[in-house]
Amino acid sequence: MRQTALIIIAFAILGALSALAQPAAPALTLDQVRAKLEENYKSINTLQANFEQELWSSTQGRVISKGEGNVRYKKPGHMVWQYTKPEEHLYLTDGDTIWDYAPLEKAVTVYQIKESLYKSFLLGIGDLKKDFEISFHSGRAKNQDGLYQLDLTPRDAIERETVGKITLYLDPQTFLVNSTETIDALGNRNVIRFKDVVKNPDLPDEAFKFTPPKGVRVIKAELPKPPPKPAAQPPKQK
């Protein structure tokens, strides 16, 4: 999962989550769907859900990894992403720091979050239209299951290289996120489906705190940085 999937989590929370498809409804425009997705975030203070994840290899043409676990979220910017399969793994953030804990490796990697799409949407200040090129997936508003399907491509070159293209599948009645899919530069797919969603449960602040266990190695790292802007070139002499 690492950095690439962290932003997927933020988008899932942005629209809240849903695992239930609803009856068909009149199709909306792209801007209308986007607006309803952003409105959903305003009603979410806390959230918890279970998830299933599949990683597809473009070269092998098959699923190479499956994962399961649960996610908990609390405004502003607190999140725990707990894997139970294929092995125990924990991602925890307070909006400023990410703790990436691998118990079997007895190591935790610590990232300081600066300005990024992940931080913007995790804290609820992101702007889809500003930060992304948005379109209906394959030019179609809905998929065969009747879910709205939005393709989001980061406008920023580094974010685009890191995240790839994100597809959100939305319930046509509630406009909650049913599942997410990302495709990286090599064509590999990361699919996450959500279920057993509970909106606004009582989640104590202590659930979002992390102290490295004794004997665990702490590694400090950085999230990808944007490249420097090219220097302005003097006008050519005629």
Distance in angstroms (rounded) separating the CA atoms of residues 11 and 126: 10
Which range, 83-87, 152-156, 225-229, is most confident? 83-87
> Which is nearest to 8 in space by CA: 156, 183, 145?
183
pLDDT 10s digits, 179-188: 989 888 788 8
pLDDT 10s digits, 9-44: 555 554 445 444 444 556 799 999 988 887 877 778
For residue 227, being part of any structural domain is answered with no
Q: Which residues pair with 98 in a beta bridge?
A: 93, 111
Q: Identify the CATH number of the domain in which residue 47 sits.
A: 2.50.20.10
The residue with tokens 């935790």 is: 108
The residue with tokens 């379109």 is: 135
Percent of the chain at pLDDT above 70? Answer: 76
The pTM score is 0.75
For residue 232, being part of any structural domain is answered with no
Domain residue limits at 73: 2-222
Average of per-residue pLDDT across 76-104: 91
For residue 88, being part of any structural domain is answered with yes
pLDDT at 9: 52
For residue 237, being part of any structural domain is answered with no
pLDDT at 37: 82
For residue 139, being part of any structural domain is answered with yes
pLDDT 10s digits, 116-139: 655 555 555 456 777 788 999 988
Average of per-residue pLDDT across 158-170: 81
Longest C-alpha distance within the chain, in Å? 69
For residue 236, being part of any structural domain is answered with no
Domain count, the chain: 1
For residue 32, being part of any structural domain is answered with yes
For residue 235, being part of any structural domain is answered with no
